[in-house]
A = this chain, B = another copy of it.
Amino acid sequence: MSEALQDAGQEIALSPTPAEEFQRLSRVQQRELFFRLPETVQEDLVADMDAEGLRAFVRRLDPDEATDVLGFADRETREVVLRRLDEDRREKIEFLLEFSPESAAGHMHLDYVTVGSQRPISEVARRVRRHEDRTDRFPTIFVTDGDELVGELPGGTLALSDDEDILDHVIEIPAVRYDSPDTDVVDVFRSNPERSVAVLDDDGSILGVIYAGDLLSVIEEAAGETLYEFTGVQEEESVLDGPLVKIRSRYKWLVINLGTAFLAAAVVGLFEETIAAFTLLAVYMPVVAGMGGNAGTQSMAVTVRGIALGQVSLPTGGRAILNEVVAGAANGAITGTLVAVIAAVFNQSPLLGLVLGVSMVLNLVIAGFFGTLIPLVLSRLGEDPATSATIFITTATDVLGFLVFLGMARAVLVG
């Protein structure tokens, strides 16, 4: 997206009259910009447009795009707009509006024709031509027996003669129910690298067709969400939102984190006297906490990806946990030695160095153990392993890390 269009997007996001800003753009720019805007902004923009402006915008969009736009309008405006569109387009959009935008049906389009398996090839060709004339798009050809989907007819078979049997040329096509979540549809494409998937009604009749390309945006959104979940930002928030939205989207997570930070503070509080006697411990606290947190999120990232790719689950996870614990001990030994040497040399306290080195090993073992176990357990419980895992892992590494470090310090340095 060009900088000029980025600027226009920001204007629209922050304007009290976004429709005015939007209508200053050319048709081509409007189309390019709209589908890149965050959902919250799309919603505000549509709410601010009058029926005539909306009609002018959607009349050139594909029916499935127009459906996405009109989904944001209130019922009344939507009906006015629909009445002013031509009949074919109106019927398609009304049909598509019935489905949830996050289901299989929300991603399907209507570029298909159906033919009975007993019909002559010439009839198929006639229907395909008619569809192309009306929509400028080549349809998927579904072959049915009664109402039931038999398969797809590749376009090339239109060159056959009427003597040949359609059924000899039908190929299989995967199908999903209209209410399958869109992530399930992605799974179907992943295991059948076909070009299209049929969307079926409860009774097995055909509702529409989805191409792999229609799902790119679903997967891309999922990609952006990983970091969001991880940092507790709400899914809808975008960089274009104003401060109020941002505050609301995030303060809860910050308050929850405050709670876990207080747990860590409480552990430190147990050792107030030790710290008073040996203030250097406070200086090294950020090192202990920081390393544990980092190592724990590393283990978590690897485990979360393994879960997403189906490579590991709680029942098969024993070996993964063991590997992470061993790796944690080794990386703890590497970084612990560095810290121990620095403390021994700069602070002239070999005992402090010893305490730091051993703490680092134990802390990274703790990080590897909880960083692997917690996402596996959360996923088993049906929770998202990326979202809530960090809270538990950081709490474990902070609380147990300070306990090990300050506890050992009290025993060795002060006691």
Contact check, B155 vs A227: say whether CB atoms are below 8 A apart.
Answer: no
Check A339 for interface membership: any CB of B closer than 8 A. Answer: yes
How many Å from the CB of A155 to the closest CB on chain B?
2
Check A118 for interface membership: any CB of B closer than 8 A. Answer: no
Partner of A9, one of B247, B311, B402: B311
Check A320 for interface membership: any CB of B closer than 8 A. Answer: yes
Across-interface contacts of A193 in B (CB, < 8 A): 213-214
Across-interface contacts of A411 in B (CB, < 8 A): none
Residue interface mask A307-328, B partner, CB < 8 A = 1: 1111111011001100110110
Q: Return the chain B residue nearest A11 by Cβ.
A: B319
Number of A residues with CB within 8 Å of any CB on chain B:
124
Check A284 for interface membership: any CB of B closer than 8 A. Answer: yes
Q: Return the chain B residue nearest A137 by Cβ.
A: B154
Partner of A285, one of B228, B285, B335: B285
Contact check, B301 vs A233: say whether CB atoms are below 8 A apart.
Answer: yes
Check A73 for interface membership: any CB of B closer than 8 A. Answer: no
Contact check, A284 vs B265: say whether CB atoms are below 8 A apart.
Answer: yes
Residue from A138, A286, A287 whose CB has the most chain B CB atoms within 10 Å: A286
Contact check, A287 vs B258: say whether CB atoms are below 8 A apart.
Answer: yes
How many Å from the CB of A353 to the closest CB on chain B?
14
How many Å from the CB of A178 to the closest CB on chain B?
21
Contact check, A323 vs B254: say whether CB atoms are below 8 A apart.
Answer: no
Partner of A313, one of B6, B269, B298: B6
Interface residues of A in 83-123 (CB under 8 A from B): none
Across-interface contacts of A276 in B (CB, < 8 A): 276, 279
- A219 and B216 CA atoms in complex are apart in Å by 8
Interface residues of A in 174-208 (CB under 8 A from B): 186, 189-191, 193-195
Contact check, A257 vs B10: say whether CB atoms are below 8 A apart.
Answer: no
Contact check, B302 vs A237: say whether CB atoms are below 8 A apart.
Answer: yes
How many Å from the CB of A41 to the closest CB on chain B?
9
Across-interface contacts of A306 in B (CB, < 8 A): 238-240
Check A3 for interface membership: any CB of B closer than 8 A. Answer: yes
- A315 and B4 CA atoms in complex are apart in Å by 10
Q: Please list 7 pairs of residues, one from A and one from B, whose beta carbons are closer than 8 Å in the complex, sorted by A's number.
A: A219-B219, A219-B220, A224-B305, A240-B306, A268-B283, A286-B402, A290-B398
Write the residues of chain A forming the contact surface with B, with a CB cutoff of 8 angstroms: 1, 3, 6-7, 9-10, 14, 32, 36-38, 125, 128-129, 132, 138-139, 154-156, 158-159, 186, 189-191, 193-195, 211-217, 219-220, 222-224, 226-228, 230-233, 237-243, 246-247, 250-251, 253-255, 257-258, 260-262, 264-265, 268-269, 272-273, 275-276, 279-287, 289-291, 294-295, 297-298, 300-313, 315-316, 319-320, 323-324, 326-327, 330-331, 334-335, 338-339, 342, 386, 394, 398, 402
